[in-house]
């Protein structure tokens, strides 16, 4: 069923839910501010000082100290925002009002977690209210309309109605990409499939390969090909070029047939089945593993079950921007409370599908000034079409989640943070303890990650039972991971003297005695370039002897089913 704007109900629900959270958060401001009158008074004084400065400098607005905003706010890059008195006043007034609202949040008597929640939704309101987002208050939009005799506005309306019918904002030229042609194009074959996933084995690019294969577990909330976009930025291709036999899980995009799929099935029928298949095909004694984001959480859970069963199948674990301790879940935490999780439990906890578009909208809200408002301005107000960008194409290729799996994950990870407690959770009929995950681990966090805060990722070093190499990469959740060795850009931080020596979460997290993330960072040194090369050097000793690369994928038991990337990844969410 669709509403009168023809927006899918799941998207409308996401918007209305976010708006209701915002209104609920704002409702407590008047009462809470009374407990901090001094802070509120200071905020008011600062606001009126800004207003006074703005009005007294209006005739010469271009000389105002805020008249060069480019380094602070990319929304106001147009020259008119500093050279034109009216637009300069509009910009300064907006920034002053935004500052006052943010200061009011700081003046409330809420706990820090509640302030974080309130600040997030206040920021959504502030971002939406920017004068750059509206036809009559954006000089670039007005100029484009004048120069095109209104054609830009007509095209913008066409773009708007097109997106309304799709139920999502177009953020890239989707016609420029095709899965299997110019993204997810690394050669290989699907060598196994069940109702939950396909397993891809990639073709070798070296004459000899490591005896132990490398299994990658991507997040099930996105398609796997973020790790295989195009050859120059493909992590898959990099690993194959280093002589790894790479296996990739390609999760099925859930539909009604998967409405009752559970977390345990993602472990037993997903990761654990993939491990056994990779071992059977390679003939190796153990497999090396990589997990990204929630894929890393699923992988770590599966390894905890494996070790609880006294099985020794995995040589190493690599976690890329993964949370195992959800004490500080970052901005995603503002959407998680008992009421929200209970509502999800009642709606889809036993059977149902959580729509990928709704989840995608939540992630867009986390970076609204990057993933929402620039496209509102360019697509609808300026009548432009977004450029082709492979990463944004992947970002728009959403996936659904089975209701039972999703609600169990929300409650036990984000809400109750049970995974970090030994024996608290039973998975696949077995009480699990991450301290028993005692193989060597490489844990990557990224400095500007808004989904997995780097200090939360660091907490994994306190939970895993083996030797841990923790690395902090530059940039964010995606760009910090997809930092190809061919470009060797950015930097990372590492402490070569640190290592969690099998403490299983009991005691300090590294050999220097640091027991918190800041302590680790104080001892770490900065290295230039990508972490990919550091990871490859770390992985080699766990990869086993070199053997001649096989010409054909699979074996007699697991015969190739279809060429990579397979059918599952091509299924779009409804």
What's the pLDDT tens digit per position in 522-566? Answer: 999 999 999 999 999 999 999 999 999 999 999 999 999 999 999
pLDDT of residue 18: 45
Residue extents of the structural domains in the chain: 9-129
Burial of 571 (0-12, 13-18, 19+ CB in 10 A): middle
Q: Report which of 276, 257, 278, 260 is spatially closest to residue 268, judged by C-alpha positions.
A: 276
What's residue 425's pLDDT? 98
| Tens-place pLDDT, residues 189-201 | 999 999 999 999 9
**What's the token pair of residue 225?**
């090909």
pLDDT band at 37 (very low <50, low <70, confident <90, very high): low
**DSSP character at residue 412:** I
Of 220, 293, 428, 459, which is the active-site residue? 293
More confident residue, 1 or 544: 544
Please give the Cα distance from 43 to 39 (Å, whole number).
6
Taking CA 324 as the corner, what is the angle to CA 433 and CA 425, rounded to the nearest 5 degrees? 40
What pLDDT was estimated at residue 168?
87
For residue 44, what pLDDT band results from cuts at 50, 70 and 90?
Answer: low
Q: How far apart are CA 472 and CA 544, in angstroms?
A: 27
Q: Please write down the HEC assignment for all residues of 537-558.
A: HHHHHHCCCEEECCCCCCCCCC
pLDDT at 166: 86
Instruction: Identify the DSSP state of 184.
Output: S
Q: How far is CA 445 from CA 255, 294, 417, 531, 559, in A?
A: 32, 13, 19, 10, 37
* 3-state SS, residue 231: helix
pLDDT tens-digit map of 304-333: 999 999 999 999 999 999 999 999 999 999
Summary mean pLDDT of the chain: 88
As a whole number of angstroms, the distance between CA 442 and CA 520 comes to 15
Q: What percent of the chain has pLDDT over 90?
A: 74
Which of 481, 182, 449, 430 has its CA nearest to residue 331?
Answer: 449
pLDDT digits (tens, 9 = 90+) for 123-162: 999 999 999 999 999 999 999 999 999 999 999 999 999 9
**pLDDT of amino acid 47:** 64
pTM of the model: 0.88
- Distance of alpha carbon 439 from alpha carbon 459, whole angstroms: 17
- The answer to whether 428 is a known catalytic residue is no
What does DSSP say about strands 491-494 and 401-402: parallel, antiparallel, or unpaired?
Answer: unpaired
């Amino acid at each position: 069923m669709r509403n009168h704007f023809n927006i899918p109900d799941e998207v409308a629900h996401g918007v209305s839910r976010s708006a209701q959270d915002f209104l609920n958060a704002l409702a407590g401001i008047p009462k809470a501010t009374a407990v901090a009158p001094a802070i509120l008074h200071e905020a008011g004084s600062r606001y009126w000082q800004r207003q006074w400065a703005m009005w007294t400098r209006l005739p010469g607005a271009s000389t105002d100290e805020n008249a060069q905003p480019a380094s602070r706010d990319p929304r106001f890059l147009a020259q008119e925002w500093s050279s034109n008195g009216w637009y300069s006043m509009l910009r300064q007034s907006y920034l002053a009002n935004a500052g006052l609202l943010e200061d009011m949040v700081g003046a409330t008597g809420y706990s820090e977690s509640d302030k974080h929640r309130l600040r997030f939704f206040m920021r959504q309101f502030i971002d939406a209210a920017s004068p750059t987002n509206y036809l009559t208050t954006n000089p670039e939009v007005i100029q484009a309309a004048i120069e095109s005799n209104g054609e830009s506005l007509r095209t913008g309306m066409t773009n708007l109605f097109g997106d309304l019918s799709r139920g999502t904002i177009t953020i890239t030229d989707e016609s420029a990409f095709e899965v299997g042609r110019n993204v997810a194009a690394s050669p290989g074959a699907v060598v196994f499939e069940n109702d939950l996933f396909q397993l891809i084995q990639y073709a070798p690019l070296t004459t000899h390969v490591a005896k132990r294969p490398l299994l990658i577990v991507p997040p099930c909330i996105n398609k796997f090909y973020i790790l295989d976009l195009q050859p120059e930025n493909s992590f898959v291709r990099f690993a194959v070029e280093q002589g790894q036999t790479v296996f990739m899980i390609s999760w099925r995009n859930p539909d009604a047939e998967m409405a009752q799929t559970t977390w345990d099935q993602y472990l037993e029928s997903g990761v654990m089945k993939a491990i056994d298949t990779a071992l059977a095909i390679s003939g190796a004694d153990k497999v090396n593993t990589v997990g990204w984001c929630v894929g890393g959480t699923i992988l770590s859970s599966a390894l905890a079950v494996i070790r609880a069963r006294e099985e020794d199948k995995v040589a190493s674990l690599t976690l890329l921007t993964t949370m195992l301790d959800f004490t500080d879940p970052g901005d995603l935490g503002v959407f998680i409370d008992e009421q929200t999780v209970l509502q999800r439990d009642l709606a889809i906890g036993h059977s149902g599908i959580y729509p990928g578009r709704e989840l995608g909208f939540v992630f867009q809200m986390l970076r609204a000034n990057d993933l929402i408002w620039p496209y509102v301005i360019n697509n609808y107000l300026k009548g432009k079409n977004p450029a082709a960008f492979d990463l944004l194409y992947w970002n728009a290729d959403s996936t659904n989640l089975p209701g039972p799996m999703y609600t169990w994950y929300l409650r036990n990870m984000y809400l109750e943070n049970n995974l970090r407690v030994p024996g608290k959770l039973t998975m696949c009929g077995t009480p699990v303890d991450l301290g028993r995950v005692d193989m060597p681990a490489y844990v990557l966090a990224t400095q500007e990650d808004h989904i997995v805060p780097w200090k939360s990722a660091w907490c994994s070093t306190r939970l895993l039972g083996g030797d841990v190499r923790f690395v902090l990469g530059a940039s964010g959740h995606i760009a910090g991971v997809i930092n190809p060795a061919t470009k060797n850009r950015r930097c990372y931080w590492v402490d070569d003297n640190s290592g969690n020596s099998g403490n299983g979460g009991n005691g300090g997290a590294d050999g220097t005695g640091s027991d918190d993330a800041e302590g680790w960072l104080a001892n770490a040194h900065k290295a230039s370039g990508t972490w990919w090369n550091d990871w490859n050097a770390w992985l080699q000793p766990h990869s086993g002897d070199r053997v001649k690369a096989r010409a054909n994928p699979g074996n007699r038991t697991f015969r190739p089913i279809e060429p990579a990337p397979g059918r599952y990844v091509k299924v779009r969410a409804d």
